[in-house]
A and B are shown apart, each in its own frame.
Chain A
């Protein structure tokens, strides 16, 4: 395709412009795909970097300035018109465009808002003093300021420069104590509550069965009394722990006030990012990532980690794969090996194929109506009448969610397994039969092992799809904050009736339903990155596996 140089008409007629147009479509698609992933990765990963705390001298009018302390959260350039529209004041003259900085100033309990827009042209100077401290708190978000003193039970322990050194061990101490308190609450006290609830149900069950004899009731009461006694002891222990946690207080100076009391019981972490070297920052960075994936969310999910969401997602997906794998494989084997091939099977195959294209929300609706209300309601009446009217299985939960997703993904497994079965050469099967193996033995010992990689492919694809699906889960069991994990130390350990948290829903909830979207935004990007990473890794595995398989079968056929 080389028309003579420079002749536009011939070039045009040859259709080459169209080819360029088509190439352009590919270029756009690639840029978008890569750009999207890069955007998520950049925003998601940047969140963990310990950013410098800026001390900004900001001119508020001709003669007054104020000091703003905080971390830079974003910048934008706006035209004077837009500036006027959004700020409500006329834009300064003589500027082509206005640069604005979004600064996270924290201190939500003392300032009107924890984010603030600053106009770049009003910034007089910026410095990064090393003594600036960022305190992560369990309530009211971050606190920025300088540490002035550490108090223990009201008396001064350290002051000024020495305070920082005195602070760290105390934070660690509070952290350990808090951990102990949590352990106690979740562990021993949680177990007692669980047993008390069990006794309540036992009594109700006896009443329902007309077996509530005085002896039986007295026995239950006795056990309740024992538990209550144990509880009282533990409660005292817990109170002692809380008292110990409340021992220390730090005094901080901010840009606006001095000697602000920050109880250490509220402090999760205190850092001086400006004092860190790059290596130390890198250490902090990985520490932050670890904290993110291993801790629980705080403050309506806008702070802290996403551990329960990861746990819920993984658990739900595992339950789903346990269900989907056998059924998907059996259905595929039936369709390919046992059913008489004909018009009906062809129709069924088309139907199964098409189910993969049915909107996921439809499965959610089905799951809610059929699993939760119909089956769950029936199960409750038959097995858990003592808990009614509070539903046990007649309410959305992790079991129903994983069953719904199993139905949603079963076509994927069927299609993939069938493909694998159809690839196995006839000769292999016939060889096995000719050697005297029964049909089932051939299937079990020859065909299925050979098809196992494509079964795996199907299951991984199903997992990747299930892990990212949110819409049906919103109907059948996902919640924004689950007080308990679906797996814990109380009998029967695995609580399939519990609701759970999910990474995808977490993104939706924090990004769109949270009261403080600005504060939560970096967290949403980080969660999104985590989810995307998991799903892309799963899919890449499938692609590699498929390529490997193709090679293998090619070798087999020759």
Chain B
């Protein structure tokens, strides 16, 4: 009944419509997807950066009765946060940190009849315990955890060892409550004790290199009288600095460089009258003392060298804790500190970043014992009713704050606040210095020198090419300058570093002479051209000046490089560079800003040139003709009509060029020394944000603070260049509309 041809056509028609619909959808989805990908870049960078500005979080993970018998003398947490332990008078009781299930109880190897009366952690990792015995002796024990796998499950076996043997060290007639400080060195153990209120004793026991045991008698021993009534004794992990503190905030600083004669380097009253210390602790590294006073302020005092090379404690910064701190604990891997108050307030701080990351009432009141895990992610607190509270702390990136990135920071060991970028070091107790200021400064410095070199050349060149040059010459001049834009920057960087830098170093005067005198030479050539016989000049058509000047450039360069050495010999004793260093006191790097400026300028010239040239060339011709018809000279027409009309285009060209200079990586990487210095000197190098990323990102640990701050640097570059380009683009679109109206 129905025409088979017709159904075939309808079917075909349907298929076509379907294809149309599917095609349209696919393109829509694909297009939006590509655009979203582009947007994703920004949001992904943001997502990686965001955690460094987040605060810390704490949560109560469990509360349980203190496992085992006897009173707690000291609490401890195993590194991975699986086990906790309590030191009691005779044993160490291990338990599951999560729920308090008692695990092994390891008896301590004590001499007969002896008991532990007090215990204190020793050293950075706090795995060593100093046990003060009822016999007045000290036993150094170490908590070990052996890892083994049972059915692919990780199991920890705790153990107590005695790295210096289980024979206790005699401390003379020392009461268990008297202050004691211990430092474990590579080959010696240093002890500082205080027998009565002002008598101090220092013992240094040598470690037997073969057996690791301690010599029974101290190798070095000294006794002296302190100028203050000592309440706390602190010793830094290297055994160099000894701090004696009384409760009124007077701290005496001793240099133990020679342990036989401890040298009092300074004694400072660090708190005002009537204010008392409530807790004292050393910051990681041992060159800063953290002291909390009864007004609720936490002070950081650092050992600093003054102009006369004397060391003393100086207050570097302080934090408002709102309440006096009952306990202070330093982190073992970072320059952070946690404080607990009577009322159960917990504060998490970071010194370098001057950040209070957490301030929350989560602890029991009047806690008796308080300990921070080795990775600063667990807290264990014993309250007055002997119940244990286990808290989990999430604080991955305390080191960064707006102020530590963009303001001057007082770092430990520096005499004054400064902007420093130094992201890593061999030391464990290193204070990372994450100031983006020197890098941003380097970026701007490199960009500024590049623009200084490129802008005049590119704009003047573009003006001539667009306005004066004969069309036949323009047809090959424009592409040949533009092809430079495609030249890989790695090539420019390599030429700058390996060829230009040595040339500039050897011919410094010639380079400067060229930069200064070349413009004059051009004007002079013009004047000379005017004086040449007209028969000759008439043969060269208008608009070929540039070609005429090519030999002038070559000749000038040849002359400069040949005459400059003679002048250098005459005026600067043979070498301008040596003269600069010795006579003028200007230091000279071979790979410096001048070289970068020239090389990066070269990379930027084509960009600026091309856009400026387009802007000038597309100024409507009737404007020019009108001006010329009214009797203006070409130059007057150019400056008063053409350039004014095209100025937004030139502006946007410069912006885009600047954007390119700011983000350029390879040239600065290869043509500078990459030292993050802040110095306007044209003969010094710099390190830029982009080069810094290229150098450090491959080596940085994924998702560490360092990694994230490098992403921040990338985000800054992204935003800055995007802003530059957007402004330029808007200006350009406006201009285009204006031309359209004219």
Shortest distance in angstroms between B594's beta carbon and chain A's nearest beta carbon? 15
CB nearest to A471 among chain B residues: B665
Quick check: A504 and B693 within 8 Å, CB to CB? Answer: no
29 residue pairs of the A-B complex, CB under 8 angstroms, read: A1-B633, A15-B634, A17-B523, A19-B526, A21-B522, A23-B546, A24-B519, A24-B552, A29-B605, A36-B602, A327-B34, A330-B34, A338-B24, A338-B28, A354-B726, A359-B665, A361-B693, A362-B41, A439-B20, A440-B22, A468-B491, A504-B491, A507-B490, A511-B498, A511-B670, A532-B491, A535-B488, A536-B486, A539-B483
Given contacts A33-B480, A407-B41, contact A471 B690 (CB under 8 A): yes
Quick check: B31 and A531 within 8 Å, CB to CB? Answer: no
User: Complex Cα distance A354/B702, Å?
Assistant: 29
A352 on interface, CB distance cutoff 8 Å: yes
Interface string of A348-362 (1 = CB under 8 A from B): 101111110111111
A369 on interface, CB distance cutoff 8 Å: yes
Quick check: A359 and B553 within 8 Å, CB to CB? Answer: no
Which residue of the partner chain, among B20, B519, B521, B721, contacts A440 with CB atoms under 8 Å? B20
Shortest distance in angstroms between A22's beta carbon and chain B's nearest beta carbon? 4
Shortest distance in angstroms between B703's beta carbon and chain A's nearest beta carbon? 8
B106 on interface, CB distance cutoff 8 Å: no
A27: chain B residues at CB < 8 Å are: 522, 546-547, 549-550, 552-553
Q: Of A1, A365, A439, which is in contact with the most chain B CB atoms at under 10 Å from its CB?
A: A365
B53 on interface, CB distance cutoff 8 Å: no
Quick check: A20 and B488 within 8 Å, CB to CB? Answer: no
Quick check: B523 and A20 within 8 Å, CB to CB? Answer: yes
Quick check: A17 and B488 within 8 Å, CB to CB? Answer: no
User: Complex Cα distance A73/B323, Å?
Assistant: 75
A26: chain B residues at CB < 8 Å are: 460-461, 464-465, 469, 477, 546, 549
Quick check: A25 and B461 within 8 Å, CB to CB? Answer: yes
User: Complex Cα distance A532/B492, Å?
Assistant: 11
Give the residues from 1 to 49 in chain B that come closer than 8 angstroms, CB to CB, to chain A.
Answer: 16-17, 19-20, 22-24, 26-28, 30-35, 37-41, 44-45, 48
A156 on interface, CB distance cutoff 8 Å: no
Shortest distance in angstroms between B403's beta carbon and chain A's nearest beta carbon? 24
B656 on interface, CB distance cutoff 8 Å: yes
Quick check: B526 and A16 within 8 Å, CB to CB? Answer: yes
Given contacts A14-B635, A33-B484, A468-B487, contact A443 B464 (CB under 8 A): no
Give the residues from 464 to 507 in chain B that come closer than 8 angstroms, CB to CB, to chain A.
Answer: 464-465, 468-469, 477, 479-481, 483-484, 486-491, 493-495, 497-499, 506
Beyond contacts A32-B602, A351-B38: 14 other A-B pairs, Cβ-Cβ < 8 A, are A19-B545, A25-B457, A29-B457, A29-B481, A33-B480, A331-B30, A365-B711, A365-B714, A366-B41, A438-B19, A468-B488, A468-B491, A524-B494, A536-B483
User: Complex Cα distance A470/B666, Å?
Assistant: 7
B526: chain A residues at CB < 8 Å are: 16-17, 19-20
B573 on interface, CB distance cutoff 8 Å: yes
Which residue of the partner chain, among A11, A40, A78, A351, contacts B530 with CB atoms under 8 Å? A11
Given contacts A20-B545, A30-B546, A335-B31, contact A508 B490 (CB under 8 A): yes
B311 on interface, CB distance cutoff 8 Å: no
- Interface bracket on B: 35 or more
Quick check: A350 and B30 within 8 Å, CB to CB? Answer: no
B486: chain A residues at CB < 8 Å are: 464-465, 468, 535-536, 538-539
Quick check: A348 and B35 within 8 Å, CB to CB? Answer: yes
User: Complex Cα distance A26/B606, Å?
Assistant: 11
Which residue of the partner chain, among A22, A76, A326, contacts B468 with CB atoms under 8 Å? A22
Quick check: B464 and A22 within 8 Å, CB to CB? Answer: yes
User: Complex Cα distance A183/B27, Å?
Assistant: 48
A interface residue numbers (CB < 8 A to B): 1, 3, 5-6, 8, 11, 14-34, 36, 39-40, 76, 78-82, 85, 97, 326-328, 330-331, 333-335, 337-339, 348, 350-355, 357-366, 368-370, 373, 407, 410-411, 414, 438-441, 443-444, 464-465, 467-471, 474-475, 504-505, 507-508, 511-512, 517, 521, 524, 528, 531-532, 535-536, 538-540, 543
Which residue of the partner chain, among A8, A508, A517, contacts B666 with CB atoms under 8 Å? A508
Shortest distance in angstroms between B476's beta carbon and chain A's nearest beta carbon? 10
Which residue of the partner chain, among A85, A335, A440, contacts B19 with CB atoms under 8 Å? A440
B573: chain A residues at CB < 8 Å are: 81
Quick check: A441 and B663 within 8 Å, CB to CB? Answer: no
B280 on interface, CB distance cutoff 8 Å: no
B694: chain A residues at CB < 8 Å are: 361, 364, 471, 474-475
Shortest distance in angstroms between B52's beta carbon and chain A's nearest beta carbon? 14
Quick check: B697 and A368 within 8 Å, CB to CB? Answer: yes
Shortest distance in angstroms between B471's beta carbon and chain A's nearest beta carbon? 14
Quick check: B545 and A23 within 8 Å, CB to CB? Answer: yes
B62 on interface, CB distance cutoff 8 Å: no
B666: chain A residues at CB < 8 Å are: 470-471, 504, 508
B710 on interface, CB distance cutoff 8 Å: yes
Shortest distance in angstroms between A543's beta carbon and chain B's nearest beta carbon? 6
B554 on interface, CB distance cutoff 8 Å: yes
CB nearest to A464 among chain B residues: B486
Quick check: B461 and A22 within 8 Å, CB to CB? Answer: yes
B518 on interface, CB distance cutoff 8 Å: yes
CB nearest to A535 among chain B residues: B486
Quick check: A5 and B663 within 8 Å, CB to CB? Answer: no
Shortest distance in angstroms between A35's beta carbon and chain B's nearest beta carbon? 9
Shortest distance in angstroms between A202's beta carbon and chain B's nearest beta carbon? 20
CB nearest to A324 among chain B residues: B34
A16: chain B residues at CB < 8 Å are: 526, 530, 635
Quick check: B717 and A359 within 8 Å, CB to CB? Answer: yes
Quick check: B24 and A440 within 8 Å, CB to CB? Answer: yes
Q: Of A15, A78, A524, A543, which is in contact with the most chain B CB atoms at under 10 Å from its CB?
A: A15
A508: chain B residues at CB < 8 Å are: 490, 493-494, 666, 669-670
Quick check: B697 and A365 within 8 Å, CB to CB? Answer: yes
User: Complex Cα distance A407/B33, Å?
Assistant: 12
B28: chain A residues at CB < 8 Å are: 334, 338-339
User: Complex Cα distance A299/B23, Å?
Assistant: 55
B565: chain A residues at CB < 8 Å are: 79, 97
Quick check: B491 and A359 within 8 Å, CB to CB? Answer: no
Quick check: A6 and B530 within 8 Å, CB to CB? Answer: yes
User: Complex Cα distance A86/B495, Å?
Assistant: 23
Quick check: B553 and A24 within 8 Å, CB to CB? Answer: yes
User: Complex Cα distance A170/B702, Å?
Assistant: 53
A78: chain B residues at CB < 8 Å are: 506
User: Complex Cα distance A437/B505, Å?
Assistant: 69
User: Complex Cα distance A464/B484, Å?
Assistant: 12
Q: Of A23, A40, A331, which is in contact with the most chain B CB atoms at under 10 Å from its CB?
A: A23
Interface string of B522-560 (1 = CB under 8 A from A): 110111011100100000001001111110111001000
A1: chain B residues at CB < 8 Å are: 542, 633-634
B300 on interface, CB distance cutoff 8 Å: no
Quick check: A543 and B460 within 8 Å, CB to CB? Answer: no
